[in-house]
Amino acid sequence: MKTIESISRMSTYSKIVKKEGKSIGFVPTMGALHEGHLSLAKTARKHADVLVMSIFVNPIQFGPDEDLEKYPRAFKRDEELARSAGVDVVFSPSIKDMYPAGYATYVNVEGLTDTLCGAARPGHFRGVATIVTKLFHIVKPDIAYFGQKDAQQAILIKKMAEDLNLDIDIKVLPIVREKDGLAMSSRNTYLSPDERKDAAVLYQSLKKAEELMRSGERDAAKIIAAMTDLIKAKPNARVDYISIVDTKNLKDVTRISGEALIALAVFMGKTRLIDNIIIKEATLS
Give the rounded distance of the alpha carbon of 275 from its chain centre: 10
Number of amino acids touching ligand AMP (CB under 6 A): 16
Is 37 an active-site residue?
A: yes
Looking at the DSSP assignment, which residues form a beta bridge with residue 111? none
Residue from 41, 109, 129, 175 binding ligand AMP (CB under 6 A): 175
CB 50, CB 89: distance < 8 Å:
yes
CB 79, CB 90: distance < 8 Å:
yes
How many Å apart are CA 231 and CA 212, to the nearest integer? 16
Residue from 183, 242, 244, 261 binding ligand AMP (CB under 6 A): 183
Residue 30 binding ligand AMP, by CB under 6 A: yes
Closest CA to 75 of 103, 135, 33: 33
Closest CA to 52 of 185, 155, 168: 168
Q: For the beta carbon of residue 268, count every other beta carbon within 10 angstroms.
A: 26
Name the segment binding ligand AMP (CB under 6 A); options: 42-50, 72-80, 100-108, 175-183: 175-183
**Minimum distance from residue 147 beta carbon to ligand AMP (Å):** 2
Task: Identify which of residues 10 and 30 has a Cβ nearer to ligand AMP in the complex.
Answer: 30
Task: Identify which of residues 151 and 213 has a Cβ nearer to ligand AMP in the complex.
Answer: 151
Task: Identify which of residues 88 and 150 has a Cβ nearer to ligand AMP in the complex.
Answer: 150
Looking at beta carbons, which residue is closest to ligand AMP? 147
Residue 36 binding ligand AMP, by CB under 6 A: yes
How many Å apart are CA 38 and CA 46, to the nearest integer? 13
Burial track 62-83 (b if 16+ CB lie within 10 A, e otherwise):
beeeeeeeebbeeeeebbebbe
Residue 176 binding ligand AMP, by CB under 6 A: yes
**Minimum distance from residue 257 beta carbon to ligand AMP (Å):** 27
How many Å apart are CA 83 and CA 22, to the nearest integer? 20
Per-residue binder mask for ligand AMP (CB under 6 A), 111-150, x = binder = -----------------------------------xx-xx
Interface contacts to ligand AMP, rule CB under 6 A: 29-30, 36-37, 39-40, 146-147, 149-150, 175-176, 183-186
User: What positions carry a catalytic annotation?
Assistant: 37
